[in-house]
């Protein structure tokens, strides 16, 4: 995998955003494989016209590229808030690729976030534009990746190091069961995965999970059986191979 964006591609272009877009999209098309099936390359071009989305012709997964130049941050500015919110709740929502590169055009981080990890709280509303702005009152959004469970942010390149492809594919596969769930069950599982992120150790106890009862009660105020729900969700995660039951109220995460 070549971690340099190809600057020779954009010599004839004057507009900086256009230059950046061409370099990034051609880099993804040349270097990135489909995290769902491993097929390479994935298509970024239809009818010889560059488009923002990537499409895998093997498995039909779709990816939308978001990027950030400079320091890696978990907050990525995006377009209109209402449009984004509508998109993440629709059937046609793509998976997201996040690309972070240095001012010297070297790729530092590249991650995929499967679409079902995008809950409305990941999309944060920005302040409306000031009355002096050209598009006054327009409300944009930020994507806050910190609000995605760590299992939902799968790095292909991390801190300039390329992650083993088999590891990436198996991590992606391990999240696919979430796609089959109804929105309600998926919401619970994503909350439980987030609670697991907050436990710093690999092994944990049921009591440590019960400590999130108040947090979960705030998320689901109508549910009066939070502890039962926690145990039930842990069983689902065990059946999906994400955690192991060690017995005696002790568990082990199978992925860090």
Instruction: Name the residues that contact Zn ion, by CB under 5 A.
Output: 34, 36-37, 39, 56, 58-59, 61
HSE-up (13 A, CA, CB side) for residue 203: 6
User: How does DSSP assign 172-223, residue by residue?
Assistant: HHHHTHHHHS-HHHHHHHHHHHHHHHHS-SSEEEHHHHHTTHHHHHHHSTT-
Q: How far is the CB of 167 from Zn ion (least distance, A)?
A: 17
Coil, helix or strand for 168?
helix
Comparing CB distances to Zn ion, the nearer of 35 and 152 is: 35
Comparing CB distances to Zn ion, the nearer of 36 and 175 is: 36
Q: How far is the CB of 55 from Zn ion (least distance, A)?
A: 9
Classify residue 112 as exposed, middle or buried by CB count within 10 Å of its CB (0-12, 13-18, 19+): buried
Q: How far is the CB of 42 from Zn ion (least distance, A)?
A: 7
Comparing CB distances to Zn ion, the nearer of 43 and 201 is: 43
Comparing CB distances to Zn ion, the nearer of 2 and 60 is: 60
* Both structure tokens of 155: 């790095």
Q: How far is the CB of 34 from Zn ion (least distance, A)?
A: 3
């Amino acid at each position: 995998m070549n971690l340099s964006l190809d600057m020779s591609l954009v010599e004839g272009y004057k507009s900086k955003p256009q230059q950046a877009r061409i370099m990034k999209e051609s880099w993804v098309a040349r270097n990135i494989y489909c995290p769902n099936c491993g097929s390479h390359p994935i298509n970024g071009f239809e009818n010889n016209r560059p488009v923002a989305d990537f499409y895998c012709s093997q498995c039909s997964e779709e990816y939308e590229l978001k990027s950030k130049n400079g320091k890696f941050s978990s907050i990525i500015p995006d377009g209109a808030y209402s449009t984004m919110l509508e998109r993440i709740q629709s059937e046609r929502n793509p998976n997201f690729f996040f690309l972070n590169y240095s001012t010297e055009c070297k790729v530092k981080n590249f991650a995929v976030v499967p679409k079902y990890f995008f809950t409305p709280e990941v999309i944060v509303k920005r302040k409306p534009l000031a009355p002096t702005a050209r598009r006054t009152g327009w409300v944009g959004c930020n994507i806050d990746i910190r609000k995605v469970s760590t299992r939902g942010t799968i790095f292909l390149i991390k801190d300039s190091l390329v992650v083993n492809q088999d590891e990436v594919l198996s991590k992606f596969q391990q999240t696919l069961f979430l796609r089959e769930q109804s929105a309600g069950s998926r919401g619970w599982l994503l909350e439980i995965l987030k609670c697991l992120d907050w436990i710093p150790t690999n092994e944990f106890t049921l009591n440590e999970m019960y400590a999130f009862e108040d947090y979960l009660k705030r998320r689901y105020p109508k549910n009066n059986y939070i502890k039962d729900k926690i145990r039930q969700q842990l069983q689902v995660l065990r059946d999906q191979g994400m955690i192991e039951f060690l017995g005696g109220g002790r568990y082990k995460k199978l992925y860090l």
